[in-house]
Amino acid sequence: MDYSDIIKLLSDSYKLRILTSAKEIPRSAGFISVMLNVPISVSYRCLDELEKQGLVGMAERPLTPEGIRVSHYRSWLREIEMTIDEGEIVYRVLFRGGRGEMRGSARPPSNVGTKD
């Protein structure tokens, strides 16, 4: 995960809401869709992207009363800390469950904050 990944994550309200909703209790894409009032396709797309970035993972696959296995996802993210120091963004991402942390820094592109 680099500067652009973190900025994209923090600017995508669906992903932030999914991470928050699945922080304590594993949730299915269907439940997230209903709970957050977003299309199911958005839930699946966001979960897929978050899983590729290592921010969510499948926690369980319970059997429904209809005999169907449903994937429940849980957020691995515990905390994101960002500061600005002399024009550089410094970030620290803490993961739950002994998954450690990630630190980094980046200078925003020179055209950030300018008008086109």
Q: Tens of pLDDT along 34-75?
A: 999 999 999 999 999 999 888 899 999 999 899 999 999 999
The residue among 115 and 33 whose pLDDT is bigger is 33
Q: Judge: domain 3-106, CATH 1.10.10.10.
A: yes
Task: Select from 13, 10, 50 the least CA-distant residue to 29.
Answer: 50
| CA separation for the pair 47, 73 (Å, rounded) | 8
| CA separation for the pair 43, 101 (Å, rounded) | 26
**Cβ 64 vs Cβ 31: under 8 Å:** no
**Tokens read off for 43:** 């839930």
The residue among 78 and 98 whose pLDDT is bigger is 78
| CA separation for the pair 71, 81 (Å, rounded) | 29
Question: Which pLDDT tens digit goes with each residue over 72-97?
Answer: 999 998 888 888 888 787 888 888 87
